[in-house]
Amino acid sequence: EVQLVESGGGSVQAGGSLRLSCATSGFTFDNYAVGWFRQAPGKEREGVSIIASGDGGTNYADSVKGRFTISVDSAKNTVYLQMNSLKPEDTAVYYCAAAWSPGFVAGLQYNYGYWGQGTQVTVSP
């Protein structure tokens, strides 16, 4: 059974940093892509960053490029999202998601099938 559990959210001031963690189980990164998505109040969910299955290529939304970094610790079955230079517009519930994607890149617009419960990130001015 695929499971994802996020942690690490919280409240910070603008310019601060947070690191989100996604503890995964039930699959390997060889055949599953993992991504971070977010949803702010009154807005649609948007893709933030993904790390592809297999070679571990990464992709980022334009709004977070240069500020956020996604990474995987395969030994711990954990995916991280390091968020630096946070802005108030980064405030959202952040979700970790996984997708079966052997041999292709499940990008930011892909329909990820497995989701965590989310963790709140609040950035104050």
pLDDT tens per residue across span 79-115: 999 999 999 999 999 999 999 998 888 899 898 999 9
Residue that has been written with the tokens 């001031």 in this structure: 13
Per-residue model confidence (pLDDT) at position 39: 98
Token pair for residue 38? 């977010």
What distance in Å separates the CA atoms of residue 27 and residue 15, rounded to the nearest whole number? 35
What distance in Å separates the CA atoms of residue 44 and residue 25, rounded to the nearest whole number? 27
pLDDT tier, 55 (very low <50, low <70, confident <90, very high otherwise)? confident
Tell me if 41 sits within 8 A of 30, measured CB to CB: no
Per-residue model confidence (pLDDT) at position 85: 98
Dump pLDDT digits (tens) for 22-32: 999 999 999 99
- Amino acid identity of residue 73, one-letter, is D
The mean pLDDT of the chain is 95
- pLDDT of 54 above 90: no
What distance in Å separates the CA atoms of residue 39 and residue 94, rounded to the nearest whole number? 7
